[in-house]
Structures are given as C-alpha cells and as structure tokens.
Amino acid sequence: MKIQRKTLTRALALACLTSGLALSAASRSALAEELSARQIQERLKAPVTRSLTATDRPQLSSDDLAFVKRVRGQTRSLSLDDREQMAVIATKRPKVDLEINFDYNSAELTPKAEPQLNSLGKALTSNELAGSVVMLGGHTDAKGSDEYNQGLSERRAETVKHFLIETYKIPAANLVTAGYGKNGPKNPNDLYAAENRRVEIVNMAEREEASK
C-alpha cells in the first residue's frame, strides 16, 4: 500500500508538471519573447503563487533538502526514481521556462539560443541567485523512441550546464541536470513542435537552504 501511495504521488506530481506546461497559444507567444537577466532572476526568486510574499514562500522539507543535497554535484545521469522525485519537488519551486531551443535530433546549441543563455548566466550569478542549486530539465519533442529521447534530453541539459560552467564559472555542484524525454511537453497540442525541444530551469534550493 505504501508503494502504491508513493507511485500515485509521483504520478500526480508529473501530471501537475505537465499541466503547468500546457500553456495557451497566447501564453506560448508571450513566453517566446526573450527574457532579460532581471526578468529571469525575478521569476526564479518569486513563489509560483504570486499572492504570496517572500516570507510566505513554502520552504523545502528536511527530506526534500536532503534529496537535493544528495544529487547535487552528481556526475552520472539521474535514475528514474531520482528524476521522478526531482519532478515532485520542482512543482513546488520557483521556475522559468526559457526558449532555449535545439534543432531536431540535436543537443548542440544554436546561435539563436545563446542570447537567452547569456541572460540566464547573468541571472544565476546575480547576488540574489548565486549559490542556489538549480535544476536544468531537458525535454524533447515526440519524434523517436522513448529511450532515444531520454538520452537526447539528458544531453541537452548537459549542454546548457557546460555552457554555464564554462562561460559564467558557475560551480558544477550547483547545476543538477535531469532528462525527461518527451514527457511534459510545453505544447501538448502539437507534440512535434519546436518549443518542446527545450530546457526548463527550476530553483531547487536557494543559497541559504543549500548551505544548511
């Protein structure tokens, strides 16, 4: 029964993550605009529920914090259980869905993606966010097998991680990558759309939490 409840909780969390990404056409159009470093910074600091103040922001539970610290700096790909647990925590954390897109069947950054990545790097090295533990969640479109897309999404997340490490000198331990393959499409009405090939950014633990 305990295992069944755990599985149900994870399934519901993944469903919430997916539904949270199911944006209307108007919302997708707005998100397609490049965000400035300041805009990214504010969204990664702010609670998901805009009516809450900073002091009201839900804190990580001791179990969630212990998990984030365990996977922090892990060099190998996360296991299925760890990816699912990461998705559970991510539903409760500040996040931003950036247009860091990739060409079909590729984990290489395009020139078009670099300005937005530079804004991300500046935001993550700001006084407010420096030292936070951030998840880079890779996603693909629906073309190809589950196994292939899982590997591709992991490589895409790693590509963004390497860019941030090399260009902005962000410690590798503060960037946790996870691949979600074709799960959680940004555009559920067109599973093959280019906007589904992206990396989602989640502030998993702020500097004060991570240093506990």
pTM higher than 0.85: no
Q: Which residues, at least 6 apart from 44, have a Cβ–Cβ distance to it below 8 Å? A: 94, 95, 96, 123, 124, 129, 132, 134, 201, 203
CATH architecture designation of domain 2-210: 2-Layer Sandwich (3.30)
pLDDT, tens digit (0-9, with 9 covering 90-100), for 143-196: 999 999 999 999 989 999 999 999 999 999 999 999 999 988 888 999 998 888
Whole-number percent of the chain with pLDDT over 70:
78
Ordered by start, the domain boundaries in the chain are: 2-210
